[in-house]
């Protein structure tokens, strides 16, 4: 099922956009896209429009320089020239973090990696719902439509100029004019009737918030996989091992929530304009709510977030010192000098079955004297249990809600 009129009208009202129905329709659905009716800074929540018409994200550094990634092997997808931007009228906007892919060989490599992720290395025969974030001029979109068709592919784009280009090339393609930070992925997945597979050449200055939004969406099983470009350093944080300078909040969250793979490095030369740093193509296979609950064994993601963020805010200190104030606030200071609690039975069972994640979950006796980067993702789960519980296995519910907004900002996800 494609996006319904209900969602479209609600999204239009929430963001201040006016609906416009395409005169050309696909046999199975009518195509809608959004056009803004006002240039007020209130039209896009969280974005501010300058006097020259440029949109900027109000929280982030406008001087930040984005980046991107790519390299590849043989693929059944032919390398075709990437779209040419309309002369004089379409310049990438730095304020939107726009760096367009211009190398057809890199596009082929990204599409091949995406297909591997979306089909779980060939374990699935079809790809049913593809959502591209920030398609731009359509370098990836053209290949996605060619392979999967407009019944499967849909795009979310904030730049009205890009929407016009895509609509002219692919009249039946569904393109939603929206801020990707405001997308409600669980609602979108419900309307589509299944989990989404995501692809995108992301705006790099808001990469982390997009990733956290996808992590939250995985609480309900709304997102299956994501294959996205990002700054090389950010990608390395997602896959970093413990006891390294790159290991941090992104490492803990995504190594707990998903299987993460760095497909390859992408040089600046394949983008226009060229970023000043290398990029990475990262593949994320979310575990889904059932397996995530097994790893958490009753620990609430919101409590985990508090432990992880507090610990890494002072990453040079020992865990005891970084969490001392929180322990005092929660009136559990005794845990700072006490032994780890026994593991829940479901974790012990996973260990007995040889589960690699569970085998690395027990806290060491000297956990309090370690620094945050020395604790594995599973050990942060047990550290959270020490502070917040649950201590009684009887209260661990198999289908306990994991939360709609835990890692993403509360003001995001309003559509």
Residues annotated in a binding site for S-adenosyl-L-methionine: 99, 101, 134, 157, 179, 201
Q: How far is CA 58 from the centre of its chain?
A: 20
State how far the Cα of 112 lies from the Cα of 285, in Å rounded to an integer. 16
For residue 352, what are the contacts with CB-CB under 8 A and spacing of at least 6?
Answer: none
Q: Can the peptide bond before residue 350 be classed as cis, meaning omega within 30 degrees of 0?
A: no
* C-alpha span between 79 and 14 (Å, rounded): 40
Peptide bond into 364 cis (omega under 30): no
Q: Which residues pair with 12 in a beta bridge?
A: none
In this structure, the strands spanning 55-57 and 258-266 are unpaired
Rg of the chain over Cα atoms, rounded to whole angstroms, equals: 22
Distance of alpha carbon 175 from alpha carbon 236, whole angstroms: 31
Q: Is the dihedral of CA 270, 274, 279, 285 positive or negative?
A: negative
Of residues 60, 7, 57, the one with CA closest to residue 29 = 7
Nearest to 266, CA basis, from 135, 99, 75 = 99
What whole-number distance in Å separates Cα of residue 367 and Cα of residue 351? 20
Note whether 24 and 43 are within 8 A (CB).
no
The token duo for 177 is: 């004019």
**Beta-carbon-side half-sphere exposure of residue 114 (alpha carbons within 13 Å):** 30
Q: What is the C-alpha to C-alpha distance for residues 302 and 309, in angstroms, rounded to an integer? A: 11
Residue ranges of the binding site: 99, 101, 134, 157, 179, 201
CA dihedral 112, 116, 117, 119 (to 10 degrees): 130
């Amino acid at each position: 099922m494609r996006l319904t009129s209900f969602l479209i009208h609600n999204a239009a009202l929430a963001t201040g956009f006016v609906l416009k129905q395409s005169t050309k329709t696909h046999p199975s659905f009518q195509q809608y896209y959004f056009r803004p009716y006002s240039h007020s800074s209130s039209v896009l929540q969280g974005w501010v429009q300058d006097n020259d018409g440029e949109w900027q994200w109000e929280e982030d550094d406008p001087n930040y320089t984005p980046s991107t990634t790519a390299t590849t092997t043989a693929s059944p997808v032919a390398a075709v020239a990437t779209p040419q931007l309309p002369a004089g009228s379409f310049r990438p906007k730095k304020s939107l973090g726009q760096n367009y892919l211009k190398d057809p060989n890199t596009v082929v490599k990204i599409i091949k990696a995406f297909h591997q992720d979306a089909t779980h290395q060939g374990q699935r025969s079809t790809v049913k719902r593809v959502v591209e974030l920030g398609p731009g001029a359509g370098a990836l979109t053209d290949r996605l439509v060619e392979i999967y068709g407009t019944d499967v592919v849909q795009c979310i784009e904030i730049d009205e100029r890009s929407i016009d280009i895509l609509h002219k090339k692919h009249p039946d393609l569904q393109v939603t004019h929206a801020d990707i930070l405001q997308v409600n992925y669980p609602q979108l997945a419900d309307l589509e009737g299944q989990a989404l597979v995501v692809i995108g050449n992301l705006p790099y200055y808001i990469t982390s918030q997009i990733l956290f939004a996808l992590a939250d969406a995985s609480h309900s099983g709304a997102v299956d996989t994501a294959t996205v470009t990002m700054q090389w350093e950010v990608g390395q944080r997602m896959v970093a091992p413990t006891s390294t300078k790159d290991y941090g909040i992104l490492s803990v969250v995504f190594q707990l929530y998903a299987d993460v793979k760095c497909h390859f490095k992408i040089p600046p030369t394949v983008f226009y304009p060229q970023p000043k740093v290398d990029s990475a193509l990262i593949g994320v296979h979310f575990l889904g709510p059932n397996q995530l609950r097994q790893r958490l064994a009753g620990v609430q993601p919101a409590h985990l977030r508090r432990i992880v963020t507090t610990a890494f805010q002072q990453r040079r200190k020992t865990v005891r010192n970084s969490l001392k104030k929180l322990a005092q606030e929660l009136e559990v200071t005794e845990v700072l000098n006490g032994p780890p609690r026994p593991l829940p039975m479901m974790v012990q069972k996973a260990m007995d079955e040889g589960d690699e994640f569970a085998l690395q979950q027990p806290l060491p006796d000297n956990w309090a004297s370690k620094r945050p980067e020395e604790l594995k993702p599973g050990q942060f789960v047990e550290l959270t249990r020490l502070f917040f519980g649950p201590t009684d296995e009887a209260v661990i519910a198999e289908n306990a809600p994991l939360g709609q907004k835990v890692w993403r900002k509360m003001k995001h996800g309003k559509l």
